[in-house]
Homo-oligomer: A and B are copies of this chain.
Amino acid sequence: MDLATIIGIVSGVALVVTTIVMGGSPKIFVHVPSMMVVFGGATAATLISFQLKEVLGVLNVVRKAFFSESTDNVALINRIVELSKKARKEGLLAIDKEVNQIEDAFLRSGMEMVVDGTEPELIRNIMETELSYLMERHKRGQDIFSALGEYAPAFGMIGTLIGLIGMLQNLNDPTQIGGGMAVALITTFYGALAANLVFNPIAGKLKNRSEEEVLVKEMIIEGVLSIQFGEHPNTIQRKLMNFLSPKQRVFEE
């Protein structure tokens, strides 16, 4: 898990809890019915919009986004350059065995097609369809969390309205206003917290992670096709190096 994420979650929760405890009445902030109306309502609205399998599948997407390692781009480029050298020296058929040992599934499947003699146009077509499918899945994950991030504050407001209306309706004793308002506002608090410390940051994470993965996959497509075209390993390296940040490049060159 990325260090930033851990720091973010721990410090975010710690800050909010500390602020609540310092306020002197932490008990009121643990209110199960309020939690249910906010989280349940936001989940219900999201379930209406999406299919069950998508909503369940999203946990998988999140798990990957937070726990899977970033690809080591430099190692990947070196791998591709090696393959291109061998292919140039010994021919495309000779690298058959090498290809089976490639750990990156996307690169391996691309190289397998090269070895099989598939036409470049079809390889590009298949790899890009695969890539666009991946983007689509990521996009769906972001959409689900963005929906939760919009519905949570909305149901927070709905909960507060229910509380306010009930309280105002039965208002005999003005000294009760304070307590009633406090309870009514808890759902707004939950909604704001859920959206800004959970749902929206996760949606952001999925978006950023997706952009990274797409970049890597585009680099792999470029590399696979360059090998097939028999380009010079130096040219391939130069091309792919462009996908790295300048800092990484300096290190490796």
- Chain A interfacial positions (CB closer than 8 Å to B): 2-5, 7-9, 11-12, 15-16, 18-20, 22-25, 28-29, 33, 36-37, 40-41, 43-52, 54-55, 70, 122, 125-126, 129-130, 133, 137, 140, 143, 147, 151, 154-155, 157-159, 161-171, 175, 178-179, 181-182, 185-186, 188-189, 192-193, 195-197, 200-202, 204-205, 207-208, 235, 238-239, 242-243, 245
| Chain B residues, CB < 8 A from A52 | 2-4, 7
- For the complex, give the distance between the alpha carbons of A193 and B161 in Å: 10
Interface centre among A5, A48, A168, A208 (most CB of B within 10 A): A48
9 tightest A-B CB contacts, nearest first? A49-B204, A12-B44, A8-B47, A171-B178, A23-B166, A4-B52, A48-B201, A129-B242, A8-B48
Give the number of copies in the complex. Answer: 5
Docked Cα-Cα span, A7 to B44, in Å, equals 7
Chain B residues whose C-beta falls within 8 Å of the C-beta of A16 in the assembled complex: 37, 41, 158, 162
